[in-house]
Amino acid sequence: MVVCDAFQTAIHLLGPDSFGSLRGGTIFDARLPLVPRYLFSSLISLLTATGIYFSITMLYHTATVAGFALAPDPRAWPPLSDAPWAATSLRDFWGRRWHQLFRRLFVQIGARPAQAVFGRAGGVLGGFALSAVLHDVCIWGMGRGTAFPQIGGFFLLNGVAVIAEQAFERATGRKVRGYAGWVWTMLFVLATGNLLVDAWLTRGLAGACAIPDFIRPTWLLAQLWPALRPALL
């Protein structure tokens, strides 16, 4: 909870009247030159992705504690993620390391039917396409329209890149892995993630908080700071 709150607070502080608020705003600052603009938007994307990871993990652990009382079998509560920052290929990132909450849905309804019609590559794109639709429906549920060009672009570009990895491995006999694979994976997810994060934050997603203020560490620190400041300084 502490880490999750810290990352969300950082986004609020960096864009208090735009992308960090409920009103929302783009992460691309037109006042900045091209390279600093995209470095800044990539920083916001990284903070957002990390905050989402810890938010989902926090909620899953909370559900695990409650659910374990009903089903005290560790096999019923497998790890949700596996250190996505350590992925050495996009297939490794999406297929194993990022959270697997919707894996069965994407495979059974998206990937397998598409593979039966369009082959292996079609199956990969089918799974990513269904993920894009699901995430776009979540945006639509906020009552601020949809953003499929951006959201679909993110997921389908990642699907194409996974197919490219598979083609590379078949052509060279070498797997995408190691340090070079890690750099490739992190840079690609971060670069394309700008599309997804901009769609979310433009619609005010970062202004909401999954943690009530009265238990947020940063909110509590802000309330206690006037009393603590004289003693610390």
pLDDT score recorded for residue 222:
63
Q: Give the pLDDT band of residue 67 (cuts 50, 70, 90).
A: confident
Contact 196, 135 (CB under 8 A): yes
Q: Give the pLDDT band of residue 177 (cuts 50, 70, 90).
A: very high
User: Across all residues in the chain, what is the average pLDDT?
Assistant: 88
pLDDT score recorded for residue 230:
58
What is the C-alpha separation between 159 and 175, in angstroms, rounded?
Answer: 17
Q: List, for residues 68-89, the tens digit of each pLDDT value.
A: 777 777 777 888 899 999 999 9
Averaged over 128-138, what is the pLDDT?
A: 94
Q: List, for residues 136-176, the tens digit of each pLDDT value.
A: 998 888 888 899 999 999 999 999 999 999 999 999 999 99
Averaged over 199-221, what is the pLDDT?
A: 76
Q: Pick from 41, 52, 132: which is nearest to 84 by CA?
A: 52
Contact 178, 88 (CB under 8 A): yes
Place of tokens 């009247």: 17
Q: Is 211 helix (H, G, I), strand (E, B) or coil?
A: coil
User: Residue 228 burial by CB count (10 A; 0-12/13-18/19+): exposed, middle or buried?
Assistant: exposed
pLDDT score recorded for residue 233:
53
